[in-house]
């Protein structure tokens, strides 16, 4: 049975447009994923809101998982805050498995995001959650939580986003 570690944002200090935090909303997406993953026979573990990022990474590394999926929402830098839109899926630059998952996630998000041309896949070596996890990993920035349209899209599509991410996970493990 494939095992995945779900790591929704731990950033309770990151305000989500319209109320709440990035942590609150990303946990709703992880919650929405659980029944889809279970239906596909995928075992899942996940971080807890009271963890630090270091604790979540250690928990993932100690859990013998096949993949680590970080679930976040984005914010633009102060000079352009609230003006950017679209999902961005990151993978560790030298990880073919991370890239494969990132591409699958992007394909699923293109099916549900209002402007598919804004869905990006980007390599990186700087994100701790990709650099320090033992399992292959990807980090999805579902959309911009500081943009009113993106924030409304995320809130209005929690289940659809959870299903899209779960579909990508199932495809990655060859279950679809």
- pLDDT tens track for 106-162: 999 999 999 999 999 999 999 999 999 999 999 999 999 999 999 999 999 999 999
Q: What is the pLDDT of residues 26-80, one digit of tens each?
A: 999 999 999 999 999 999 999 999 999 999 999 999 999 999 999 999 999 999 9
Task: Answer yes or no: pTM beyond 0.85.
Answer: yes
For the record, the structure tokens of 23 come out as 């942590």
Predicted local distance difference test score (pLDDT) of residue 140: 98
Residue 67's DSSP bridge partners are 4
**How far is 55 from 47, CA to CA, in rounded Å?**
8
* 78 CB burial (10 A radius; 0-12, 13-18, 19+): exposed
User: Locate tokens 């971080």: which residue?
Assistant: 47
Q: Return the H-helix or E-strand segment holding 130.
A: helix 128-131
Predicted local distance difference test score (pLDDT) of residue 176: 81
Q: CB atoms < 10 A from the CB of 151, how many? A: 21
Contact 86, 115 (CB under 8 A): yes
For the record, the structure tokens of 152 come out as 């409304």
Q: CB atoms < 10 A from the CB of 39, how many? A: 10
Contact 49, 7 (CB under 8 A): no
**How far is 68 from 134, CA to CA, in rounded Å?**
9
Predicted local distance difference test score (pLDDT) of residue 120: 98
Assign 15 a pLDDT band (cuts: 50, 70, 90).
Answer: very high
**How far is 104 from 171, CA to CA, in rounded Å?**
7
């Amino acid at each position: 049975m494939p095992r995945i570690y779900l790591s929704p944002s731990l950033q309770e200090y990151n305000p989500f447009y319209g109320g709440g935090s990035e942590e609150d909303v990303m946990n709703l997406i992880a919650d929405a994923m659980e029944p889809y993953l279970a239906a596909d026979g995928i075992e899942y573990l996940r971080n807890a809101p009271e963890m630090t990022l270091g604790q979540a990474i250690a928990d993932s590394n100690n859990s013998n998982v096949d993949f680590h999926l970080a679930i976040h929402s984005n914010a633009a830098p102060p000079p352009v805050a609230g003006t950017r839109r679209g999902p961005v899926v990151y993978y560790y630059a030298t990880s073919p498995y991370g890239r494969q998952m990132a591409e699958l996630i992007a394909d699923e998000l293109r099916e549900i995001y209002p402007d598919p041309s804004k869905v990006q896949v980007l390599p990186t070596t700087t994100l701790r959650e990709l650099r320090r996890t033992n399992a292959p990993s990807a980090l999805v920035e579902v959309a911009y939580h500081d943009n009113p349209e993106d924030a409304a899209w995320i809130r209005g599509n929690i289940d659809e986003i959870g299903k899209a991410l779960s579909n990508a996970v199932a495809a990655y493990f060859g279950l679809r």
